[in-house]
């Protein structure tokens, strides 16, 4: 098949506190595949575990449970040369472009370092390769090389980092909030680059974002995360045109859109008890039922459209659970 | 409608070793009472400088000309002491990064009491705390919040607490600076609704809502001002600005926004090529000249700053294409 990377039952538990401490499950037993030449957007609010997923794939964190399979091999077993090979194929670009560069060196350094380490054999063609990769992201090397990061805009710096991954023959790019710090007028150009790389270079992208309209614009597949769980997963058009999970519906109705005003809602955030082992959205869900005290699993409802919700599956209960309004005082 | 704030040819520069950065360079606008006035633009356009300077003009910010008349008083000429007296009671701000605005070593109630006492000596400590609790309840926060430290609150809760503190003394004019930018969509909606609620309860009269996100402004603002590189380019009613933009910058900016229903595979959106000018040595003419696809009169556009004119009732535009005599656009 054309799976590039398979995520199987991935779980990450963080321990906090010095003595004793408490545990936070940032990623809770999730499984999905990323295919070749696919842009998959991972959408969730802060604390949903979306960044942790990216960091686990980049091997910046060790999974507590579960496996990440790349080309048939569990990446946690990679060492030495094999690991280096993995990093040629899987690269990340992060939110803050200014933090990704060392301000006292010229931007050329991000390219030079590659040729010192990963691309020793190509060092004789270094300049051509750099110019070529910069062109692919719409930059003119004359405007870029020899300058310092502070002389560039955020959009330029992000493109330089994408160009850098092109030199490495990257197959999967983990783009964690890649454009959330960029201005509206330059942001869409960087998004278009991702689309072009998918179409021309057959690159796959895990596009981590909290902005649904950006995810809708660029991705083939959308994955909605909530409190470490995948609550909905499917072809982007299906998820957005026919959202099945109540959380996804709530998110979509909250997206500020031009030409559509928000519907007014109660000025109160619904919060109740979260049953251990239950649905992660239980306390905020308008459809919560008694069965929801046991966590629903991700099930395929339509073709290419999965959801983890009993109500969406059609389970009915004559015992809906309601939360009192006066839980806050 | 009465004007609450009337700003004319207002200039605020930053003093640096290399010279003056003309961050806000001759802006003119007014805010009516009882309205939400949206200010939008890219980073570096001067929108936050404008908001901050109206509240507290501190170095390296420097007042460089013009007036800002609030309720009949020109606050741009106020001394620090005069300003301190109206701040919080007449004009208040929810700062950018409000979540980090509270001291982590003080209980919320002490922060509130200290702040209010500084501006209003008439209220007793108990009255102040009761008022705060009442407002916290209104937005779904427990009364226990006053006894907590800011580090015990989540990001969204901190944001709400700061919003309550900023509006506690019912300021006439509230400046909300990027209050939705670091939030998730559901919290964004919540903050905007909260502001709306405060306005309908008359805790605040008018709001200047500063953001880079035009789709949020569409939800809340009555009128919108678009800024570019320290200048005002367009002011108008929200529907007009967003759905029928006239200035070439506003047009390009709005067409570059991803919208629901548009996918890359079907329609490729375009950004605006180029970058805003350096405000240390801004161009002599229109600041959008370099990136403008229109340039109706290239010489004039390049050399003369287009004045902000009322092109239609309630619609102000600064572009040579819309100045009478050059009326070939439209």
In a 10 Å sphere around its CB, with 0-12 CB exposed, 13-18 middle and 19+ buried, how is residue A168 labelled? Answer: middle
In the prediction, which pLDDT does A269 show?
55
State both tokens at A115: 């040729």
Sequence-ordered alpha helix ranges (H) in A145-207: 154-167, 184-196
In the prediction, which pLDDT does B1 show?
65
Contact A25, A228 (CB under 8 A): yes
Note the pLDDT tens digit of each residue in A30-82: 999 999 999 999 998 888 999 999 999 999 999 999 999 998 899 999 999 99
Question: What is the nearest CA distance from A117 to chain B, expressed in angstroms?
Answer: 34
Best to test chain B binding among A37, A184, A193, A198 (most B CBs inside 10 Å): A184
Q: Do A185 and B272 touch (CB under 8 A)?
A: yes
Q: Do A329 and B137 touch (CB under 8 A)?
A: yes
**A-chain residues near B140 (CB < 8 A):** 267-269, 328
Contact A295, A225 (CB under 8 A): no
**B-chain residues near A43 (CB < 8 A):** none
Q: Which CA distances in Å does B139 have to A59, B207, B314?
A: 41, 18, 35
Its sign, for the CA torsion B23, B29, B32, B38, is negative
In a 10 Å sphere around its CB, with 0-12 CB exposed, 13-18 middle and 19+ buried, how is residue B77 labelled? Answer: exposed
Contact B30, B7 (CB under 8 A): yes
In a 10 Å sphere around its CB, with 0-12 CB exposed, 13-18 middle and 19+ buried, how is residue A61 labelled? Answer: middle
Note the pLDDT tens digit of each residue in A163-172: 999 999 899 9
Q: Do A258 and B243 touch (CB under 8 A)?
A: yes
Q: Do B218 and A185 touch (CB under 8 A)?
A: no
- Give the other-Cβ count within 10 Å of B127's Cβ: 12
Question: How far apart, in whole angstroms, are the C-alpha atoms of residue B10 and residue B66?
Answer: 4
**Taking the domains of chain B in order of start, what are their residue ranges?**
3-90+173-178+202-322, 97-170
Torsion angle, alpha carbons of A289, A290, A293, A297, to 10? -60
Q: Is B324 helix (H, G, I), strand (E, B) or coil?
A: coil
Q: How many CA atoms lie within 13 A of A142 on its CB side?
A: 0
Among the partner residues B242, B260, B271, nearest to A186 by beta-carbon distance: B271
In the prediction, which pLDDT does B181 show?
80
Question: How far apart, in whole angstroms, are the C-alpha atoms of residue B327 and residue B243?
Answer: 21
pLDDT in tens, chain B (330 residues): 689 999 999 999 999 898 999 999 999 999 999 999 999 998 889 999 999 999 998 888 999 999 999 999 999 999 999 998 899 899 999 988 877 888 899 999 999 999 898 887 888 999 999 999 999 998 888 888 999 998 888 777 888 899 999 999 999 999 999 898 878 888 888 889 999 999 999 999 999 999 999 999 999 999 999 999 999 999 999 999 999 999 999 999 999 998 888 899 999 999 998 888 989 999 999 999 999 999 999 999 999 999 999 999 999 999 999 987 655 444
Sheet holding B19-32, edge to edge: B19-32, B3-16, B61-70, B73-74
Among the partner residues A45, A213, A240, nearest to B186 by beta-carbon distance: A45
Question: How far apart, in whole angstroms, are the C-alpha atoms of residue A299 and residue A310?
Answer: 10
Greatest alpha-carbon pair distance for chain B in Å reads 65
Q: Do A264 and B212 touch (CB under 8 A)?
A: no
* Domain made up of B3-90+173-178+202-322: CATH architecture: 3-Layer(aba) Sandwich (3.40)
**A-chain residues near B179 (CB < 8 A):** none
Of all residues in chain B, the one with the smallest CA distance to A151 is: B278
Question: What is the nearest CA distance from A223 to chain B, expressed in angstroms?
Answer: 16
Phi and psi (nearest 5°) for A69?
A: -105, 120
Q: Which CA distances in Å does A95 have to A48, A106, B203, B253, B293?
A: 17, 20, 37, 22, 31
State both tokens at A216: 């809708």
pLDDT level of residue A324 (50, 70, 90 thresholds)? very low
Question: How far apart, in whole angstroms, are the C-alpha atoms of residue B73 and residue A56?
Answer: 58
Phi and psi (nearest 5°) for B39?
A: -120, 120
Contact A8, A31 (CB under 8 A): yes
Q: Which residue has the tokens 């500020």?
A: A256
Question: How far apart, in whole angstroms, are the C-alpha atoms of residue A206 and residue B79?
Answer: 54
Tell which residue, A94, A71, A93, A100, has the closest CA to residue A83: A71
State yes or no: pLDDT of A325 exceeds 80. Answer: no
In the prediction, which pLDDT does A323 show?
45
Contact A220, A38 (CB under 8 A): yes
In the prediction, which pLDDT does A303 show?
92
Question: What is the nearest CA distance from B328 to chain A, expressed in angstroms?
Answer: 26
**B-chain residues near A189 (CB < 8 A):** 270-271
Note the pLDDT tens digit of each residue in A254-264: 899 888 888 87
Question: How far apart, in whole angstroms, are the C-alpha atoms of residue B71 and residue A122?
Answer: 69
The size of the A-B interface in CB pairs under 8 A is 131
Of all residues in chain B, the one with the smallest CA distance to A46 is: B184
Among the partner residues A188, A216, A267, nearest to B194 by beta-carbon distance: A267
Domains of chain A in start order, with CATH, are: 36-59+78-219 (3.40.50.300)
How is residue B283 annotated by DSSP?
-
* Share of residues in chain B with pLDDT > 70 (%): 98
**A-chain residues near B181 (CB < 8 A):** none
- Give the other-Cβ count within 10 Å of B174's Cβ: 24
Q: Which residue has the tokens 């959008």?
A: B288
Sequence-ordered alpha helix ranges (H) in chain B: 47-55, 80-86, 108-119, 125-138, 155-166, 185-200, 214-220, 238-243, 248-255, 298-303
Judged by a CB distance cut-off of 8 A, whether residue A196 touches chain B is: no
Question: What is the nearest CA distance from B34 to chain A, expressed in angstroms?
Answer: 20
In the prediction, which pLDDT does A263 show?
84
Tell me what ipTM this predicted complex has: 0.84
Contact B306, B231 (CB under 8 A): no
Higher pLDDT: B41 or A316? It is B41
Q: Which residue has the tokens 């957007």?
A: A41
Judged by a CB distance cut-off of 8 A, whether residue A324 touches chain B is: no
Q: Do B140 and A328 touch (CB under 8 A)?
A: yes
State both tokens at A25: 């499950």
Q: Could you tell me what percentage of chain B is helix, strand and coil, using 3-state DSSP and rounding each to the nearest 5?
A: 35, 25, 40
pLDDT level of residue A5 (50, 70, 90 thresholds)? very high
55-114 of A, contacting B, C-beta below 8 A: none
In the prediction, which pLDDT does B247 show?
96
State both tokens at B206: 């008018």
How is residue B307 annotated by DSSP?
P
In the prediction, which pLDDT does A271 show?
60
State both tokens at B252: 């390009």
- Per-residue burial over B141-151, b if 16 or more Cβ lie within 10 Å, else e, is beeebbeeebe
Q: Which CA distances in Å does A315 have to A23, A233, A243, A310, B39?
A: 32, 19, 17, 5, 48
Across chain A, what does the average pLDDT equal? 88
Among the partner residues B42, B155, B197, nearest to A184 by beta-carbon distance: B42
- Give the other-Cβ count within 10 Å of A279's Cβ: 29
Q: Do A267 and B256 touch (CB under 8 A)?
A: no
Judged by a CB distance cut-off of 8 A, whether residue A153 touches chain B is: yes
**B-chain residues near A214 (CB < 8 A):** 258
């Amino acid at each position: 098949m054309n799976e590039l990377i398979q995520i199987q039952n991935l779980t990450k538990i963080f321990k906090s506190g010095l003595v004793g401490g408490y545990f936070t499950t940032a990623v809770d037993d999730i499984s999905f595949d990323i295919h070749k030449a696919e842009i998959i957007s991972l959408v969730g609010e802060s604390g949903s575990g979306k960044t942790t997923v990216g960091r686990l794939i980049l091997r910046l964190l060790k999974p507590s449970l579960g496996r990440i399979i790349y080309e048939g091999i569990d990446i946690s077993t990679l060492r030495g040369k094999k690991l280096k090979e993995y990093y040629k194929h899987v690269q990340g670009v992060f939110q803050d472009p200014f933090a990704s560069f060392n301000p006292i060196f010229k931007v050329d350094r991000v390219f030079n370092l590659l040729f010192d380490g990963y691309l020793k054999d190509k060092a004789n063609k270094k300049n051509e390769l750099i110019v070529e990769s910069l062109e692919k992201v719409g930059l003119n090397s004359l405007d870029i090389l020899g300058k310092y990061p502070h002389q560039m805009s955020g959009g330029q710096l992000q493109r330089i980092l994408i160009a850098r991954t092109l030199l490495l023959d990257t197959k999967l790019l983990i783009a964690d909030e890649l454009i959330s710090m960029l201005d509206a007028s330059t942001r869409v150009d960087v998004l278009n680059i991702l689309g072009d790389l998918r179409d021309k270079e057959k690159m796959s992208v895990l596009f981590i974002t909290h902005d649904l309209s950006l995810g809708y614009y660029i991705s083939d597949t959308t994955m909605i995360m909530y409190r470490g769980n995948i609550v909905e997963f499917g072809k982007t058009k299906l998820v957005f045109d026919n959202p099945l999970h109540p959380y996804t519906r709530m998110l979509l109705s909250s997206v500020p859109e031009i030409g559509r005003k928000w519907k007014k809602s109660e000025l109160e955030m619904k919060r109740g008890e979260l049953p251990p082992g239950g649905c992660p959205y239980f306390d905020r869900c308008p459809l919560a039922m008694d069965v929801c005290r046991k966590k629903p699993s991700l099930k395929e409802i339509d073709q290419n459209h999965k959801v983890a919700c009993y109500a969406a599956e059609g389970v009915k209960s004559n015992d809906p659970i309601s939360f009192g309004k006066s839980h806050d005082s | 409608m009465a004007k609450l704030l009337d700003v004319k040819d207002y200039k605020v520069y930053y003093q640096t070793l290399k010279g003056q950065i003309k961050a806000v360079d001759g802006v003119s606008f007014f805010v009516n009472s009882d309205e939400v006035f949206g200010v939008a633009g890219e980073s570096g356009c001067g929108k936050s400088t404008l908001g901050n300077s109206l509240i507290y003009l501190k170095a390296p910010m420097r007042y460089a000309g013009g007036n800002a008349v609030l309720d009949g008083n020109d606050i741009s000429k106020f001394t620090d002491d005069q300003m301190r007296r109206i701040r919080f009671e007449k004009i208040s701000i929810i700062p950018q990064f409000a979540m980090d605005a509270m001291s982590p070593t003080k209980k919320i109630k002490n922060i509130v009491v200290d702040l209010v006492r500084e501006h209003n000596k008439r209220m007793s400590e108990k009255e102040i705390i009761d008022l705060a609790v009442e407002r916290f309840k209104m937005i779904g926060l427990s009364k226990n919040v006053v006894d907590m430290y800011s580090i015990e609150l989540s990001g969204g809760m901190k944001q709400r607490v700061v919003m309550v503190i900023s509006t506690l003394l019912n300021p006439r004019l509230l400046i909300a600076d990027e209050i939705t930018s670091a939030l998730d969509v559901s919290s964004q909606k919540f903050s905007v609704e909260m502001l709306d609620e405060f306005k309908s309860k008359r805790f605040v009269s008018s709001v200047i809502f500063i953001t880079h996100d035009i789709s949020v402004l569409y939800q809340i603002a009555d009128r919108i001002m678009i800024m570019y590189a320290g200048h005002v380019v367009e002011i108008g009613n929200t529907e007009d600005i967003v759905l029928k933009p006239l200035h070439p910058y506003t047009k390009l900016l709005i067409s570059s926004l991803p919208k629901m229903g548009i996918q890359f595979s079907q329609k490729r959106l375009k950004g605006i090529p180029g970058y805003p000018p350096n405000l240390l040595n801004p161009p002599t003419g229109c600041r959008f000249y370099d990136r403008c696809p229109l340039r109706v009169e290239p010489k004039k556009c390049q050399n003369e700053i287009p004045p902000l004119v009322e092109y239609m009732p309630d619609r102000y535009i600064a572009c040579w294409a819309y100045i009478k005599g050059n009326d070939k656009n439209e």
